[in-house]
Amino acid sequence: MTQRHVINASVSPKGSLETLSQREVQQLSEAGSGSTYTLFRQCALAILNTGAHVDNAKTILEAYKDFEIRIHQQDRGVRLELLNAPADAFVDGEMIASTREMLFSALRDIVYTENELDALSIDLSTSQGISDYVFHLLRNARTLRPGVEPKIVVCWGGHSINTEEYKYTKKVGHELGLRSLDICTGCGPGVMKGPMKGATIAHAKQRIHGGRYLGLTEPGIIAAEAPNPIVNELVILPDIEKRLEAFVRVGHGIIIFPGGAGTAEEFLYLLGILMHPDNEGLPFPVVLTGPKHAAPYLEQLDAFVSATLGEAAKKHYEIIIDDPAEVARKMTQGLKEVKQFRRERNDAFHFNWLLKIDERFQRPFDPTHENMANLKLHRDQPAHELAANLRRAFSGIVAGNVKDNGIRLIEEHGPYQIRGDAAILQPLDLLLKAFVAQHRMKLPGGAAYVPCYQVVA
């Protein structure tokens, strides 16, 4: 990264439908000052940096300080002018088509979020309002396609997994693709890329031309997890909670591959929702899987869930070790049930309206030391509420590990103190220590891991 290759270029959308009003162009053009511009510049830089494997948003932003992006309205539509852009996004001076497409997707979502969506009379103080917000954003991005049967499989897991695990995700993606299923991920590298790559080859074999590789991201994470170029539908949600809601409302089933604290957080988010009494009986296939050597990891996660949320949690997911075809078959079977269920209830195939998402999961958690210390980590509450609190604990740990404000807080006040029942804290401690031992707690720069928390029994 010491020797940056940069390039200046000018790109127009191809086959895209994006048009902007003069007002919107003006708003985006206030280079340097406007927050809309800053947001777009940051996302654009991440998209252009698509090949690079950098864990840290800051690094990228600093490496391309002089990167600029200008928007012009022209005879044939919008044109973007790029100055000092990362050269990796270009082949012999021409921008890779997928990168170009993603730039205009980012433009689309940011213009919509900043203009139309914020102006909509949506009441964001209600749970229903937040879901409506997510719906409108996805609809504007043309992600919601009526008339299509349920086949979007969400793949969650780490962005920096080992080679064997990465190859395994490709194999699972291949088996999903052979069965005509589409892939949705967080759109970065690792688990977010492997299944898409495998599915691309499988879709080619099955002569499927409109295979979807849906990437859902948000401005806070996009720089650290730059969209991989297989993604052919990119949507930028405004924050992490809306991104998670988008996953569970557009995805018809979820596969969880090995990952770190972030993956555990997502798993707890999902369990918390599925265990909500209102979602009793609502089919939602979830499979935890990995190659043979990842078995201990998956078993540990399973044990942790049993120990904390109880055996009842186990009916919501299945563990399959080292059998990609079986994973794909289970998912196919699960999607049939989803289809049947939605048909009977007249729920949309393209948006899971019936899924109840508690407000607890829709609101951001602020990982202050106080909030972390006050988390209710005991059995004296319904399992889905405990799941919500455990999710917050992991959310805080992720922040303390890799996020700017989290790191600063830890530097200032020392590690978080996590309190609660031993019956909860002990399994938690075990799991976190296992993550460390398995090198799943990745840090910027690759330094040895110093825990940002203390479990106080």
Q: Are 285 and 326 in contact (CB under 8 A)?
A: no
Long-range contacts of 177-180 (CB under 8 A, 24+ apart): 177/201, 177/202, 177/203, 177/205, 177/206, 177/208, 177/211, 178/202, 178/205, 178/206, 178/328, 179/328, 179/329, 179/331, 179/332, 180/151, 180/206, 180/208
How many amino acids of this chain bind a second copy (CB under 8 A)? 66
State how far the Cα of 391 lies from the Cα of 61, in Å rounded to an integer: 29
Footprint of a second copy on 16-75 (CB under 8 A): 16-19, 21-23, 72-75
Residue closest to 157 by CA, chosen among 125, 122, 196, 208? 196
Footprint of a second copy on 153-182 (CB under 8 A): 178-179
Task: Give the binding range for a second copy (CB under 8 A) out of 113-121, 237-245, 363-371, 377-385.
Answer: 113-121
State how far the Cα of 255 lies from the Cα of 324, in Å rounded to an integer: 11
| Backbone phi, psi, residue 184, to 5° | -130, 125
Footprint of a second copy on 297-336 (CB under 8 A): 329, 332
Region of residue 187 (phi > 0: left; psi between -120 and 50: alpha; otherwise: beta): left
Q: Are 416 and 372 in contact (CB under 8 A)?
A: yes
Helix axes 422-437, 383-402, angle to 10 degrees: 40
Q: Which is nearer to a second copy, 52 or 201 (CB)?
A: 201
Shortest spacing between CB 387 and a second copy, in angstroms: 26
Contact between 5 and a second copy by CB under 8 A: the answer reads no
Q: Which is nearer to a second copy, 211 or 427 (CB)?
A: 211
Contact between 87 and a second copy by CB under 8 A: the answer reads no
Question: What is the length of the chain?
Answer: 457
State how far the Cα of 391 lies from the Cα of 264, in Å rounded to an integer: 8
Handedness of CA 133, 134, 135, 141 (dihedral sign): positive
Shortest spacing between CB 230 and a second copy, in angstroms: 6
Q: Which is nearer to a second copy, 13 or 260 (CB)?
A: 13
Instruction: For residue 146, give Cα distances in angstroms to 82, 250, 330.
Output: 36, 12, 24
Task: Pick one of 5, 65, 209, 315: the residue that binds a second copy (CB under 8 A).
Answer: 209
Task: Pick one of 11, 28, 45, 101: the residue that binds a second copy (CB under 8 A).
Answer: 101
Task: Pick one of 4, 53, 58, 142: the residue that binds a second copy (CB under 8 A).
Answer: 142
State how far the Cα of 47 lies from the Cα of 158, in Å rounded to an integer: 19
Contact between 88 and a second copy by CB under 8 A: the answer reads no
Footprint of a second copy on 117-136 (CB under 8 A): 119-121, 128, 132, 135-136
Residue closest to 174 by CA, chosen among 192, 193, 197? 197
Q: Which is nearer to a second copy, 179 or 276 (CB)?
A: 179
Footprint of a second copy on 177-206 (CB under 8 A): 178-179, 197, 200-201, 204-206
Task: Pick one of 242, 276, 342, 442: the residue that binds a second copy (CB under 8 A).
Answer: 342
Shortest spacing between CB 309 and a second copy, in angstroms: 30
Helix axes 422-437, 295-309, angle to 10 degrees: 170
Q: Which is nearer to a second copy, 343 or 439 (CB)?
A: 343
Q: Which is nearer to a second copy, 75 or 380 (CB)?
A: 75
Task: Pick one of 1, 4, 58, 116: the residue that binds a second copy (CB under 8 A).
Answer: 116
Q: Which is nearer to a second copy, 325 or 434 (CB)?
A: 325
Q: Which is nearer to a second copy, 26 or 381 (CB)?
A: 26
Instruction: For residue 41, give Cα distances in angstroms to 28, 66, 70, 368.
Output: 10, 11, 9, 29
Contact between 229 and a second copy by CB under 8 A: the answer reads yes
Q: Are 144 and 350 in contact (CB under 8 A)?
A: yes
> Residue 243 has which token pair?
């991104």
Contact between 277 and a second copy by CB under 8 A: the answer reads no
Shortest spacing between CB 250 and a second copy, in angstroms: 12
N-term to C-term CA, the chain: 44
Q: Give contact residues for a second copy (rule: CB under 8 A).
A: 12-19, 21-23, 72-78, 91-92, 96-98, 101, 115-116, 119-121, 128, 132, 135-136, 139, 142, 144-148, 178-179, 197, 200-201, 204-209, 229-230, 232, 329, 332, 339, 342-343, 346-351, 353
